[in-house]
Structure 1
């Protein structure tokens, strides 16, 4: 396991740094109602959730995951260091002792990934002699980068493969009509051979004004969609700048993702509002 992780590193690492395995382990400790030790309710109260919010969280199959997602979405204070502090505050030092090595490892990887994104890759002389643009400048991974400047988009479309038919309709309605919007659709606009996670982060953070999240049952099972959504939320906690726009285009059997429940949804499933759907979505994406 990693060693030498400082308190500063922990405090500066957002909750998104923790991987699914650690979050699941937290759930194993906190989900069961406990009359002796503090459970997820005590942690939620320490996070600042109200009584009514906590009662609503009881409906979730995994309340620990729900409170972590909601806490992460609503405040910039949601860091790994703060979570450890809250667990200590509610006297769950057993969790801190057992999971701290795993959390330290996740934080180390998170900071390493930030460092790799900030620094250009080291190249051997043979490669340096080639005429290429450094990846740190954001060139060379979308179709139109060859024109001399990074290609910019009105919105990044977060979707899973099974929903691509609707994404194609979105392209027709928003790009090929009077709206003339420019969407970033990964399968169409990103050149093959790029590192998926690095390029996705670059596009969401620096090249796209907003992100449209196509919500479906399949979306909930997609690791890529989960990463993209949480990364975008970490850039704009609570979506104060209307950065994320959830879209539901077909009925769902699973529960709507709690991490997005604070945002107004653009719902295509309601026949009475379908006539306004594309107008509303286009207007939201056209805002400064």
Structure 2
């Protein structure tokens, strides 16, 4: 049935019609393991995922989101109607009832967009609005909602590739513990395809409250790290109020960067203060 009809056949509406906010809410219902009600695993089984696939999805930050994306990518049966049917089959009618107004609104917007695409353009493609646009700054991270607010973070992590193992430890200690902080790790959170410098400045200036700088000998040779640090210390209105937190996690043979000498260092190399390291860092990143 066509989208313009009063009664839309949800089995004809692809899952892509559901925006990020609805998917996040589905995760809030289904991600927690529930001994009483069906969770994301039961939904994944109904979608046809194997036991091994489900075990791999369990390591995701949001298993529900990962399952929906996987189902959408591999199945022509991945429709809004089929999803609602699966939720009903696993006896999660509570989710259907709570989210149905939001789902219907997403479907309505999707149908309107499809109808506009089918209509002939009112002007030639070469003529554009005079309103300035910066498309690179929208939809730049994994959790960005193109129709909603941009994804925000507690801290931008400035690091070089050789220090990535320590960044992994930082993720475990700050995101996956009671601190529940949200870190912006470029290789994990940023979508590929746009200008690195544009994205970096947008994230530091407008998306992240703090910036953690992982200092090492390799950091001193990194052009990307040099740009990120200098931008965060620049007089740019959105960047100059950032609190930079230098972190040293291994011994260095080169001099400490002079541009950061005036800042208090969080030192992981001192055994006597190592026990307080993550607590101090988490507290600094949690400040308003």
Does the residue aligned with 2:210 lie in a helix, a strand or coil? strand
Matching of residue 139 in structure 1 with residue 138 in structure 2: yes
2:212 corresponds in structure 1 to 212
For 1:253 and 1:271, the matched residues in 2 are separated by 19
**Is the contact made by 2:145 and 2:151 (CA closer than 8 Å) also made in structure 1?**
no
Map residues 100-179 of structure 1 onto 2, 5 A cutoff: 125=125, 135=135, 138-146=137-145, 148-179=148-179
For 1:127 and 1:151, the matched residues in 2 are separated by 31
Pair 127,186 (structure 1): closer, same or farther in 2 beyond 3 Å = farther
- The alignment's C-alpha RMSD in Å is 2.5
**Is the contact made by 1:236 and 1:243 (CA closer than 8 Å) also made in structure 2?**
no
**Is the contact made by 1:246 and 1:264 (CA closer than 8 Å) also made in structure 2?**
yes
For 1:280 and 1:236, the matched residues in 2 are separated by 28
For 2:283 and 2:236, the matched residues in 1 are separated by 20
The count of residues paired between Structure 1 and Structure 2 equals 160
Displaced runs of 4 or more, over 4 A: 239-242
- Unaligned regions of 5+ residues in structure 1, if any? 1-123
Q: Deviations over 1:155-181 (max 9, x none)?
A: 000000000000000000000000000
2:277 corresponds in structure 1 to 277
Q: Which has the higher contact order (CA 8 A, sep 6+)?
A: 1
For 2:218 and 2:176, the matched residues in 1 are separated by 27
TM-score, normalising length: structure 1: 0.52
Does the residue aligned with 2:272 lie in a helix, a strand or coil? helix
For 1:212 and 1:271, the matched residues in 2 are separated by 21
User: Which one has a larger percent helix, Structure 1 or Structure 2?
Assistant: 1
Pair 188,127 (structure 1): closer, same or farther in 2 beyond 3 Å = farther
Q: Deviations over 1:41-83 (max 9, x none)?
A: xxxxxxxxxxxxxxxxxxxxxxxxxxxxxxxxxxxxxxxxxxx
2:268 corresponds in structure 1 to 268
Pair 240,152 (structure 1): closer, same or farther in 2 beyond 3 Å = closer
**Is the contact made by 1:139 and 1:149 (CA closer than 8 Å) also made in structure 2?**
no
